[in-house]
Chain A
Amino acid sequence: MTLDIETTSQKTTLKSPLKSWGGFVIGMVILLVFARMVSTDGYYNSLVNAGFLFGGLAVAWNILGGYCGQFSFGHAVFVGVGAYSVALTKTDHNWGTIPGIILGIMISIAVAMAISWPLFRLRGSFFAIGTLAFSEVALSLALYFTWTHGALGVQIPFDRLPIVDQKVWLLVFFAYLVFCMGTSLFLIRGRLGYYMISVRDDEATAAASGINPLTIKTIAFAISAALTSLGGSLYVLYLGNLDPRAFLSTLEIGAFIPLLALIGGLGTLFGPFLGALFLEPGQTYLRGQFAGSLAGISQGTVGIILILAALYFRQGFWGALKQFGKWVQRIAKGAKK
């Protein structure tokens, strides 16, 4: 049940310049400038948008999966709840955007807390299977009911979309990413983050030290679900079209978000976002390049990267970067002597 990353992530929770609010703000500003420079036309702009959105989603998942050690393959449910809340209230009930988003977040928190009790009785693989089953139930219910528009999904009329400019969306998704990472940073700098990590690394010891593991897991799940729901709401407003099979897809959302976090570095602040920044635009790019010739190459590549990451690269990009940094430091020390 122990994670391979525990030793490194224990260190990352200690004071380091990247874990301070000042370092965080500087990093984010550099990122925004870089993103604006890269987004020279609509295509690259959309790649950056997707990278930021999925980066935020991966960071949100990481709060439960990385810090608290509970691997959920069912986060597509919360993407779906967020998306449906906004899309349905907008098209059928004439609500504004913000109330719809808030409704989605509240439903997501309620759902997360309600299913915490049964699901957190399950450990390891069984928890993952349970979340997978939960996600499938959500999909079949969304397809069944008429008030969700069944298999047709929801189309938001173009004039009801609050933002249509790609460049503005870049700022919105950037703000979403900053909000998710800020929440993560706030958590791991505080008491709750330490509780979460202690529950992940050794639940029995944590319980013996007076921490209630179920409470901590439930809180982490609720925060993670709320942030994911916000991302789902933004995603449907960006696309303008809610296809239930895409939004509630186990493979394309539910399993894809955790793998972004894994490839970037589980249980780290920047890792999940880094994973998304490389993989999500990379995947879209590959899909575009091989669209006519080799269908499936983009996702097939994702699969190979995933297996290789699980085999040789469990610390992810972030772990590799840190090792590289240490190596540079050692070389520099050697040169001084």
Chain B
Amino acid sequence: MDLAIVLSSGLLIGGIYAFIAIGLNLIFGVVRVANFAQGEFVMLGMFVTYLLQTNFNIDPYISAWLIIAPLGFILGALVYILVIRRLLDDHYMQMFATFGLIFVFQNLVLSLSRGEAKQTKSVVAGKTINAFGVDVSIPRLIILLSAVAVALLLIQFLNRTIIGTAMRAVAQDQKTSTLMGINANQIYILTFGISIALAAMAGALLTPSYAATTEIGFGFILPAFAVVVLGGLGSVKGSLVGGVLIGVIEGLAGYLLDPQLKQAIWFTLFLIVLVIRPNGLFGKSVKGGMLA
């Protein structure tokens, strides 16, 4: 019985990791930028959702899709145009710039929120449903289901639409795809927009179950990178599976050993996978970087 609870909670945490990792992986796979600031967009999403609820009384689950996602898209496109676009040739400067973004966003929010934790209210907050004898938190279940839905939509988008195909082409070989008449710059803007929109949306969906703090985003970035590495660079499906896997490992490690050690255990696992299979457990070659 205990094991069922551990597995279900691991699964739900995994949903959060997967949601954040899908966006991170999209940028990593298509634009080849390790965006260390991805977690900060989750954090921004949380705070804006809180502001929307306190000022305009908009439910977080409505604002996530209708307001936060479009805002995130615009912010992502801006970040790409203003910062990342000028650094495409230099991986080291990209890393520095994304760390700069972390400092800027964290401290901007810190000075505006004065370091107070914020949480939104929702009808489902704190509610659980009983599935097969295990109590499942509804807000977290919504995140897991949303992650699956987003992953499926994204896979369809990448495989079935002409823009999605163009994105996969740029991810595979930027130079050749440019020769084929694809505007890589526009694809990169689109990728950043979608990716940051997903991060901000994840933040909005988190607010009913997590209190928004300035540091929360950075706490998500390493699990998300671990998911990317496990699932394979540029693979949406891999991110989903990897996220759930990391969540379950974290839950099991906490249950079998010590909750405080769960981080150390899956970080070690992550390092091992990074070294033995740099392309991820399910990934093909890094150079190919196939999406979906």
Binding site for B on A (CB under 8 A): 1, 3-4, 71, 73, 118, 121-122, 124-126, 128-130, 132-134, 136-137, 140-141, 143-144, 250-251, 255, 258-259, 262, 294-300, 302-307, 309-311, 314
Contact = CB atoms under 8 A, between A and B. Distances in A.
A30 B158 CA distance: 62
Contacts of A307: 83, 97, 100-101, 104
A131 B132 CA distance: 42
B263 A137 contact: yes
Contact of A3 (B83, B92, B275): B92
B91 A1 contact: yes
Contact of B261 (A73, A129, A140, A262): A140
Contact of A133 (B95, B100, B111, B270): B270
B97 A306 contact: yes
B97 A304 contact: no
Contacts of A294: 111
Contacts of A125: 34, 91, 94-95
Given A118-B275, A303-B102, A310-B83, 15 more contacts: A3-B90, A118-B274, A125-B34, A126-B229, A128-B95, A133-B267, A134-B267, A255-B99, A259-B96, A299-B107, A300-B108, A303-B100, A306-B103, A311-B87, A311-B97
B278 A122 contact: yes
Contact of B271 (A130, A258, A310, A311): A130
A310 B97 contact: yes
B54 interface: no
Interface stretch (B170-178, B218-226, B238-246): B218-226
B106 interface: yes
B268 interface: yes
A128 B271 CA distance: 12
A259 B222 contact: no
Contacts of A136: 222, 263, 267
Nearest to B259: A144
Contact of B111 (A300, A302, A306, A310): A300
B272 to A, nearest CB: 8
A143 to B, nearest CB: 7
By secondary structure, the B interface counts as helix
Contacts of B66: none
Contacts of B87: 310-311
Nearest to B97: A310
B222 A132 contact: yes
Q: Which 8 pairs show the lowest CB-CB distances between chains A and B? A: A303-B103, A296-B107, A306-B100, A300-B107, A296-B110, A303-B104, A307-B100, A125-B34
A121 B278 CA distance: 9
B264 A137 contact: yes
Interface in B141-197: none
Contacts of A298: 107
A296 B107 CA distance: 5
Contacts of A1: 91
Contacts of B263: 136-137, 140
Interface size class of B (residues with CB under 8 A): 35 or more
A36 B214 CA distance: 39
Interface in B237-283: 258, 260-261, 263-264, 267-268, 270-272, 274-275, 278
Interface in B94-138: 94-97, 99-108, 110-111, 114-115
Contact of B222 (A133, A255, A304, A310): A133
17 contacts: A4-B90, A118-B272, A126-B278, A128-B34, A132-B36, A133-B267, A134-B271, A136-B222, A143-B260, A144-B258, A259-B96, A296-B111, A302-B103, A303-B107, A307-B104, A311-B86, A314-B90
B104 A300 contact: yes
A173 B274 CA distance: 38
Contacts of B88: none
Identify which of A73, A300, A310 gathers the most chain B CB atoms within 10 Å of its CB: A310
Contacts of B261: 140, 144
